[in-house]
Amino acid sequence: MKIFVCIKQVPDTETKIKISPDQTGIDTAGIKWVMNPYDEYAVEEANKLRDANPGSQVWVLSVGPKARVVESLRTALAMGADEAIVVNGEGLDNFATAKALAEVIKAEGGAKVIFSGKLAIDDNASSVSQMMAEFLNVPHTTVVSKFNFNGENVVVERDIEGGAKEVVQMMTPAVVAANKGLNMPRYASLPGIMKAKKKVIKEIEFASLNIPASDIKIKYSGFALPADKPAVKMLSGDASAQASELVKLLRDEAKVL
């Protein structure tokens, strides 16, 4: 069977973010790019499912500028994935991205389980996997922390409010969006890294998928960094004077009283 994993390349959490001059996004110069952390759990679970079902293959997919996105695909290959596909495209919103992923999966055929992360840490939209499942017309579950497959369907546990768990059974093919705690992603081995460097990654142009420009619903503009936090004020005097000054500041400056 074919197991697909949809991954996204995102800025490293320690990267210093700058807004682009036209305020339509971030300035990509000097940014360190990595695989979205939640997608690492998806890759690991796909590898585990493949290993438990001899003859299966793991295919990783990503949408974005191919010149840099292939780096994350090679990371997934080094972790153990078998094949990789990049859809070369820029300026796409989540709707168009989900549609592109769905079109590629349909064209490849044979999908049994499609994994992804529950969300991408750059936009926190948590929407691509759901929309992709709708375009594929298959069941979907997100925030998954436990996964089981019995050949015909999958049974998952997902995290819900209050620390409770919800158990969901789905017929395959199905889309499963991974949460932290689903597994412990393996490190890319040196042999895996060397093998991944030589692997041919299939390239698909977004334009060849015949997705209308009108399907890109969101136009980004007006991005700005949060305002700097004001300096900390140190209160002097005895406890009574400090309490009085604190109340005054909360009332007159913070205006929370």
Note the pLDDT tens digit of each residue in 118-149. 999 988 899 999 999 999 999 999 999 999 99
pLDDT at 170 over 90: yes
pLDDT greater than 80 at residue 222 = no
pLDDT of 15 reads 86
**pLDDT score, position 13:** 87
Residue whose structure tokens are 């695989």:
35
Q: How confident is the prediction for the chain on average, in pLDDT?
A: 92
How many Å apart are CA 257 and CA 151, to the nearest integer? Answer: 60
Per-residue pLDDT tens over the stretch 27-50: 888 899 999 999 999 999 999 999
Residue 239 banded pLDDT, cuts 50, 70, 90: very high
Q: What average pLDDT does the segment 231-247 reach? A: 89
Say if CB 66 and CB 203 are below 8 A apart.
yes
pLDDT, residue 33, reads 93
Query: Tokens for 169?
Result: 């059974």
On the question of pLDDT at 11 being above 90, the answer is yes
Concatenate the DSSP letters of all residues of the chain into one string: -EEEEE--EEE-TTS---B-TTSSSB--TTPPEEE-HHHHHHHHHHHHHHHHSTT-EEEEEEEE-HHHHHHHHHHHHHHT--EEEEEE--S--HHHHHHHHHHHHHHH--EEEEEEES--TTT----HHHHHHHHHT--EEEEEEEEEE-SSEEEEEEE-GGG-EEEEEEESSEEEEE-TTS--PPPPPHHHHHHHHHPPPEEEEGGGGT--GGG---------PPPPPPPPPPP-S-HHHHHHHHHHHHHHTS---
pLDDT of residue 14: 87
pLDDT band at residue 8 using 50, 70 and 90 as cut-offs:
very high
For the whole model, what pTM was predicted? 0.85
Domains of the chain: 2-215 (3.40.50.620), 227-257 (no CATH)
Strand 202-205 and strand 174-178: pairing? unpaired
The string of DSSP letters for 27-72 reads --TTPPEEE-HHHHHHHHHHHHHHHHSTT-EEEEEEEE-HHHHHHH
